[in-house]
């Protein structure tokens, strides 16, 4: 007997764009739960985050990616590599543009060059239209239209047109069986999200170079006890940064721990005992070995 025809759709959807365009907020809106950390700072997303949305007939695996940028160190090369890899793997590409901020020519060229690496169907989300003026939205719409994709004016924050965009993306997926169990909403382990929530808290509470010099790694995760015990190391590049992060008498890191613990408890739905340690790892952003041990993949063409 011939095989039964496939009646479902499934595929990967790469969310790409410049830093701070709202990709992570849009991913969270699609999933209906906070997976990607979100702050007002640009370059908050450092690694790819997967969000899975399953309907009766389709499964969309959204890939939130670091912003497309000019590379200055190995960490940023890893970030750019993650975005380009997602583009190469995607069945559908969703370019997210901040409608309040027109792209400069260099930025536009960077985006066009990145998109050239994919022949997947393209959609463009003009985000933040709830706060953008009409002239800015029209200018962004004209530029997006030149790329050849279908354009949607949305607000990831308020939800405006998000469902319509999701339905259009769903219809563009290739036929195929579901790739994950229907109840899954992410593919990364809980440890990944715990480390990200701690890093988000640091970004929210510190300024200047501190947020971009801190990387977090979960060292212990004892989930078979009450409360759940989690130990996280925060690595910084210099001793001076360690002093700022710890604070007088440990006051700063204690405040980070209290705020992060509440986020983690909300995320996992259990009480948590959170231990934080701050250690110095000189030049970790620029050293392949350090980045690899911290879970960052650097393209082979990087020095």
Domains of the chain, each with CATH number or no CATH: 9-172 (3.40.50.300), 190-293 (3.30.300.20)
Q: Are 18 and 99 in contact (CB under 8 A)?
A: no
pLDDT at 302 (0 to 100): 47
Q: Give pTM, 2 decimals.
A: 0.93
pLDDT at 153 (0 to 100): 96
Q: pLDDT tens track of the chain, all 303 residues?
A: 556 666 899 999 999 999 999 999 999 999 999 999 999 888 999 999 999 999 999 999 999 999 999 999 999 999 999 999 999 999 999 999 999 988 889 999 999 999 998 999 999 999 999 999 999 889 888 988 888 899 999 999 999 999 999 999 999 999 999 999 999 999 999 999 999 999 999 999 998 889 999 999 999 999 999 999 999 999 999 999 999 999 999 999 999 999 999 999 999 999 999 999 999 999 999 999 999 999 999 887 644
HSE-CB of 27 using CA atoms within 13 angstroms: 30
Backbone angles phi, psi at 211, to 5 degrees: -60, -30
pLDDT at 1 (0 to 100): 56
* Distances from the Cα of 116 to the Cα of 99, 109, 201, 292, angstroms: 22, 11, 36, 28
Biggest alpha carbon–alpha carbon distance for the chain: 74
Q: Are 41 and 150 in contact (CB under 8 A)?
A: no
What residues pair up with 13 in beta bridges, in sequence order?
Answer: 62, 92
- Return the number of other C-beta atoms located less than 10 Å from residue 6's C-beta: 11
C-alpha to C-alpha distance for 204 and 191, rounded to whole angstroms = 20
């Amino acid at each position: 007997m011939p095989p039964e025809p496939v009646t479902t759709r499934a595929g990967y959807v790469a969310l790409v764009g410049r830093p701070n365009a709202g990709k992570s907020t849009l991913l969270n809106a699609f999933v209906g739960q906070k997976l990607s950390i979100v702050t007002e700072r640009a370059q908050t997303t450092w690694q790819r985050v997967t969000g899975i949305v399953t309907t009766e007939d389709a499964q969309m695996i959204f890939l939130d990616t670091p912003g497309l940028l000019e590379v200055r160190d190995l960490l940023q090369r890893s970030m750019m590599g993650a975005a380009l890899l997602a583009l190469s793997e995607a069945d559908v590409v969703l370019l997210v543009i901040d409608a309040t901020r027109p792209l400069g020519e260099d930025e536009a060229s960077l985006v066009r060059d990145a998109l050239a690496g994919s022949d997947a169907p393209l959609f463009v989300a003009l985000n933040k239209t709830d706060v953008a003026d009409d002239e800015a939205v029209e200018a962004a719409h004209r530029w997006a239209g030149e790329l050849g994709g279908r354009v949607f004016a949305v607000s990831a924050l308020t939800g405006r047109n998000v469902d319509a965009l999701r339905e259009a993306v769903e219809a563009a997926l290739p036929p195929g069986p579901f790739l994950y169990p229907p109840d899954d909403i992410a593919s990364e382990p809980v440890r990944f999200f715990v480390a990200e929530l701690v890093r988000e808290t640091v970004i929210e509470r510190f300024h200047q170079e501190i947020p971009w010099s801190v990387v977090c790694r979960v060292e212990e995760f004892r989930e078979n006890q009450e409360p759940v015990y989690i130990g996280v190391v925060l690595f910084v590049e210099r001793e001076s940064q360690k002093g700022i992060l710890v604070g007088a008498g440990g006051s700063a890191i204690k405040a980070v721990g209290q705020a992060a613990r509440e986020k983690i408890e909300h995320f996992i739905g259990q009480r948590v005992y959170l231990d934080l340690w701050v250690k110095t790892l000189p030049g970790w952003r620029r050293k392949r070995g350090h980045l690899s041990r911290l879970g960052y993949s650097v393209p082979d063409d990087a020095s």
